[in-house]
């Protein structure tokens, strides 16, 4: 299989390219080499420095020739907290994806795996012991300032417990980045219908592992905790540390992409489907800080600050069932082991 891989020089793209090559597939790598994502503006050997927004150019047409599928990882990431960030996310993520889809159609390439994200869900899924599944409104600043970080049942005001989020859950993006990722999914599903194509969207949960960038918008909270520990500082944990997430190792994410590519080309999955890519083992943010700390052997304990970001969600925990059933994907790295190992893994500077 010949695969065009966008974002090929990035943290996740590098792992996917390596896994594809190990599986005997040919990789055509492309990356813009954004300064915010890479320490160097020079692409690695074998990676073409091109902008996905220019996918209608002759250079792209040449690269797409003879390609069986595209694995689209290129994206501008981050929280997108400033209103001024909106045009950049729409340009890189949404205009870029539509340009790529149009160029693929022109080149006769009709199979795609798209990197999506858990952020399309907004809040996770919640349940009240008495009233069942609930969709709580955003948490109020007054409650957060008072140290009440939980979501509450709108009927009885009890604190809501978290439930696993399936792929058919309500989609409620709450940042410009999240909105751009959901738009990518919508454009892709529209392309599938219009072009008679096939695509899989993989909704990554919190990805970590060797090669993760250090102290950039592409760094996750685990990398930030590690940086604090390396400076001899206590990792700062927001709220009460009880936020529940799913942390998935980059090697597992790469393996999920290879499985999805092979099956979308073989037409062994629906014409369009989205899948959670997760470890299936929920973990609190406080435990993430503790596990990274344990891996360093420093003995430095995290500090629970009570600080908060108004746009943050309380819990997002994925259901791994659809990916297991359709793709045959089950994560192999448990967060307890992976996060401790991550404490001393090589990072991208």
Give which of 331, 227, 348 is closest to 289, Cα–Cα. 227
Domain contains 255: yes
Environment class of 303 (CB within 10 Å of its CB; exposed 0-12, middle 13-18, buried 19+):
middle
Residue 139 has pLDDT above 80, yes or no: yes
Residues 6 or more apart whose Cβ sits within 8 Å of residue 334: 279, 281
Mean pLDDT value of segment 101-113: 98
In a domain, 32, yes or no: yes
Q: Which residue has the higher pLDDT, 274 or 349?
A: 274
> How much is the pLDDT for 12?
96
Instruction: Write out pLDDT tens, residues 276-314.
Output: 999 999 999 999 999 999 999 999 999 999 999 877 899
Helix pair 335-342, 221-230: axis angle to 10 deg:
40
Cα 292 from Cα 294, distance rounded (Å) = 5
Mean pLDDT of the region 83-105: 96
Distance of CA 197 to CAs 48, 74, 104, 140, 252, Å? 26, 20, 10, 43, 26
Residue 127 pairs in a beta bridge with: 133, 161
> Contact, 92 vs 181, CB < 8 A?
no
Q: Containing domain of residue 113, as a range?
A: 2-125+163-343
What phi, psi does 100 have (nearest 5°)? -65, -45
Number of helices (H) and strands (E) in the chain: give both, helices first.
11, 15
Q: Is residue 147 part of a domain?
A: no
Confidence of residue 259 (pLDDT cuts 50, 70, 90): very high
Question: Tell me, what CATH number does 40's domain have?
Answer: 3.40.50.720
Alpha-carbon distance of 260 to 276, in angstroms, equals 12
How remote is the C-alpha of 113 from its chain's centroid?
13
**54: Cα separation from own chain's centroid:** 24
pTM greater than 0.85 (yes/no): yes
Position 214 scores a pLDDT of 80
Question: 174 lies in a domain?
Answer: yes
Confidence of residue 80 (pLDDT cuts 50, 70, 90): low
Whether the pLDDT of residue 206 is over 80: the answer is yes
Lowest mean pLDDT among 82-86, 186-190, 274-278: 82-86
Q: How many whole angstroms separate alpha carbon 3 and alpha carbon 63?
A: 10
Tokens 């205009």 correspond to 95
Interval 112-135 mean pLDDT: 95
Please determine, for residue 39, whether its predicted confidence score (pLDDT) is greater than 90.
no
pLDDT at 16 over 90: yes
Give, in degrees to the nearest 5, the angle at Cα 180 between 200 and 201.
5
**Average pLDDT rounded to a whole number, residues 34-58:** 90
What is residue 188's predicted lDDT score, i.e. its pLDDT? 98
Domain-embedded: residue 245: yes
**pLDDT attached to residue 217:** 59
- Assigned domain for 158 exists: no
Number of structural domains, the chain? Answer: 1
Between 218 and 241, residue with greater pLDDT: 241
Place of tokens 């997430």: 245
| CB contact at 8 A, 175 and 147 | no
* pLDDT cut 90: percent of the chain above it: 88
**What is the pLDDT confidence band of residue 83, given thresholds at 50, 70 and 90?**
confident
E strand segments, 153-308: 161-163, 198-204, 206-208, 236-237, 244-249, 272-277, 282-284, 303-304
CA–CA distance, 240 with 260 (Å, rounded to integer): 37
Is residue 102 included in any domain, yes or no?
yes
Q: What value does the mean pLDDT take over residues 108-116?
A: 98
Q: What is the pLDDT of residues 142-176, one digit of tens each?
A: 999 999 999 999 999 999 999 999 999 999 998 89
Residue 183 has pLDDT above 70, yes or no: yes
- pLDDT higher than 80, residue 241: yes
Which of 320, 349, 326 has its CA nearest to residue 118? Answer: 320
Whether 121 maps to a domain, the answer reads yes
Taking the CA atoms of residue 1, residue 331, residue 93 and residue 110 in that order, the dihedral angle to the nearest 10 degrees is: 30
Q: Which carries the bigger pLDDT value, residue 77 or residue 251?
A: 251
Q: Is the pLDDT of residue 216 over 70?
A: no
Which range, of 57-66, 196-205, 271-280, 339-348, averages the lowest pLDDT? Answer: 339-348
**Is residue 81 over pLDDT 80?**
no
**Distance (Å, whole) CA 50 – CA 43:** 10
Task: Tell the residue number behind the tokens 């069932």, with chain if given.
Answer: 321
**Whole-number mean pLDDT of the chain?**
94
Backbone angles phi and psi of 207, in degrees to 5? -90, 135
| Res 41: pLDDT | 78
């Amino acid at each position: 299989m010949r695969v065009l891989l966008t974002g090929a020089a990035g943290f996740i793209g590098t792992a996917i390219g390596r896994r594809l090559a190990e599986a005997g597939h040919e990789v055509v790598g492309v990356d813009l080499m954004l300064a915010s994502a890479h320490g160097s503006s020079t692409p690695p050997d074998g990676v073409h420095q091109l902008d996905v927004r220019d996918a209608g150019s002759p250079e792209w047409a040449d690269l797409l020739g003879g390609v069986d599928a595209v694995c689209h990882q290129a994206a501008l990431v981050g929280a997108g907290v400033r209103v001024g960030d909106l045009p950049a996310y729409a340009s890189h993520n949404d205009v870029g994806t539509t340009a790529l889809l149009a160029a693929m159609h022109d080149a006769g390439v009709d199979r795609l795996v798209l990197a999506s994200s858990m952020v399309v869900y907004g809040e996770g899924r919640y349940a009240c012991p008495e009233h069942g599944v609930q969709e709580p409104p955003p948490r109020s600043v007054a409650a957060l300032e008072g140290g009440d970080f939980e979501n509450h049942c709108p009927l009885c005001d009890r604190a809501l417990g978290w439930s696993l989020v399936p792929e058919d859950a309500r989609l409620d993006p709450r940042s410009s980045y999240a909105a751009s990722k959901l738009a990518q999914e919508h454009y892709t599903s529209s392309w599938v219908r219009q072009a008679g194509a096939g695509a899989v969207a993989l909704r990554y949960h919190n990805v970590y592992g060797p090669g993760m960038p250090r102290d950039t918008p592409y760094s996750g909270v685990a990398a930030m905790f590690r940086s604090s520990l390396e400076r001899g500082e206590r990792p700062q944990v927001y709220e009460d540390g009880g936020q529940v997430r799913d942390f998935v190792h980059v090697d597992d994410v790469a393996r999920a992409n290879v499985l999805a590519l092979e099956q979308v080309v073989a037409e062994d999955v629906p014409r369009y489907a989205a899948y959670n890519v997760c470890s299936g083992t929920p973990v609190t943010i406080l435990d993430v800080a503790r596990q990274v700390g344990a891996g360093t052997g420093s003995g430095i304990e995290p500090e629970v600050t009570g600080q908060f970001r108004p746009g943050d969600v309380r819990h997002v925990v994925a259901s791994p069932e659809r990916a297991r059933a359709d793709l045959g994907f089950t994560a192999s790295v448990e967060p307890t082991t992976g996060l401790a190992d991550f404490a001393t893994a090589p990072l991208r500077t």
